[in-house]
């Protein structure tokens, strides 16, 4: 199906999305993450497990940090790039980052009118089987420890728009282990067929999504507490060591001793 030129008078995200921009900003975001994160790590049990065959996918994630927007690109390009990505975003915020419209991001206005507009665009996105709608499920920033996990109004309507689709919970967490820079930790949970959600009322659907996301977040939190990189697959390696004058001093000391310089503060294998 060819993308419509507009949806309810606004430019269609399908018409604006640009593979060239996606490839360029993947490089930009990757470079930025390497500079500011210790690593992007995926729990070994947490790879996305989608059913065979076609059908649209809704990834619904928690929303603990500004970094979540970066996580979308970093994880999608490495794990789900065979699907065409679309992401809703607060319309006012998107106005400050207009380039993101070329990445499949579309604006959502506040209030009932905005919710109706979101559902119109979501219906268009989910009308094609190889598309992926990636949503911050709470609809607001929320701490990773908040329970029950909030689910934004409108989420429970999405199975009605994609009865052949799959809903995939995603847990995100950002933590400091033994290095200066933080870790980005991620894990996908068990997929939920849209048909299973449609067998329940809307309130029950929201409760099931909340429970599935909380279970994935709790399991990821347990691995985070263990502070063991071996529990994770490293998708992207970032900056190691302290940086600045401290790292320069350690490098000079290693040179004077004729030793190979290891910038890590924690020099255990795999750290």
Query: What is the band of 271 on the pLDDT scale with cuts at 50, 70, 90?
Result: low
Q: How many residues does the chain have?
A: 271
pLDDT of residue 138: 96
Contact 137, 61 (CB under 8 A): yes
Query: What is the band of 240 on the pLDDT scale with cuts at 50, 70, 90?
Result: confident
Query: What is the band of 2 on the pLDDT scale with cuts at 50, 70, 90?
Result: very low
pLDDT of residue 166: 98
pLDDT of residue 252: 55
pTM (predicted TM-score): 0.85
- Rounded mean pLDDT of 108-112? 87
Return d(Cα 79, Cα 236) in angstroms, integer: 12
pLDDT of residue 264: 56
pLDDT(130) > 90: yes
Average pLDDT of the chain, as a whole number: 89
- Rounded mean pLDDT of 74-82? 97
Of the candidates 23, 15, 31, 22, the one whose C-alpha atom is nearest the C-alpha of residue 238 is 31
Query: Each residue of 157-212: pLDDT tens digit?
Result: 999 999 999 999 999 999 999 999 999 999 999 999 999 999 999 999 999 999 99
Contact 106, 13 (CB under 8 A): yes
Percent of the residues in the chain that have a pLDDT greater than 90, as a whole number: 77
Percent of the residues in the chain that have a pLDDT greater than 70, as a whole number: 85
C-alpha distances (whole Å) from 147 to each of 71, 190, 211, 217, 235 are 22, 19, 9, 11, 29
- Rounded mean pLDDT of 114-123? 93
pLDDT of residue 248: 52
SS3 266: coil
Query: Each residue of 189-202: pLDDT tens digit?
Result: 999 999 999 999 99
pLDDT(256) > 70: no
Contact 55, 131 (CB under 8 A): no
pLDDT of residue 51: 87
Exposure string of 76-94, with b = 16+ CB inside 10 Å and e = fewer, is bbebbeebbbbbbbbbeeb
Residues 6+ apart with CB under 8 A from 60: 135, 137, 151, 155, 167, 168, 169, 170, 209, 213
pLDDT of residue 135: 97
- Rounded mean pLDDT of 118-145? 96
- Rounded mean pLDDT of 85-92? 94
Of the candidates 103, 101, 114, the one whose C-alpha atom is nearest the C-alpha of residue 11 is 101
- Rounded mean pLDDT of 19-24? 95
Q: Which residue is listed with tokens 């009605």? A: 160
Query: What is the band of 112 on the pLDDT scale with cuts at 50, 70, 90?
Result: confident
Going along the chain from its start, the domains and CATH numbers come out as: 6-239 (3.40.1130), 242-271 (no CATH)
């Amino acid at each position: 199906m060819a993308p419509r030129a507009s949806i309810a008078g606004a430019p269609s995200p399908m018409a604006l999305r640009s593979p060239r921009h996606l490839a360029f900003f993947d490089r930009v975001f990757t470079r930025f993450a390497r500079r500011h994160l210790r690593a992007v790590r995926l729990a070994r049990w947490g790879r996305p497990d989608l059913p065979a065959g076609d059908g649209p996918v809704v990834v619904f994630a928690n929303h603990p940090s500004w970094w979540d927007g970066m996580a979308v690109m970093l994880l999608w390009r490495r794990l789900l790039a065979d699907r065409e990505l679309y992401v809703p975003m607060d319309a006012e915020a998107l106005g400050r980052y207009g380039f993101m419209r070329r990445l499949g991001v579309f604006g959502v206005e506040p209030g009932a009118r905005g919710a109706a507009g979101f559902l119109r665009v979501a219906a268009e996105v989910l009308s094609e089987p190889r598309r992926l709608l990636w949503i911050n499920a709470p609809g607001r920033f929320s701490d990773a420890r908040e329970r029950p996990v909030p689910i934004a109004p409108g989420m429970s309507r999405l199975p009605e728009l994609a009865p052949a689709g799959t809903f995939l919970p995603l847990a995100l967490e950002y933590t400091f282990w033994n290095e200066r820079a933080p870790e980005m930790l991620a894990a996908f949970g068990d997929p939920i067929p849209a048909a299973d959600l449609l067998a329940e009322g809307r309130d029950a659907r929201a409760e099931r999504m909340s429970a599935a996301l909380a279970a994935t977040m709790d399991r990821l939190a347990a691995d985070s507490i263990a502070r063991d990189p071996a529990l994770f697959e490293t998708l992207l390696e970032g900056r190691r060591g302290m940086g600045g004058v401290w790292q320069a001093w350690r490098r000079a000391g290693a040179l004077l001793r004729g030793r190979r310089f290891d910038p890590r503060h924690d020099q255990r294998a795999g750290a």
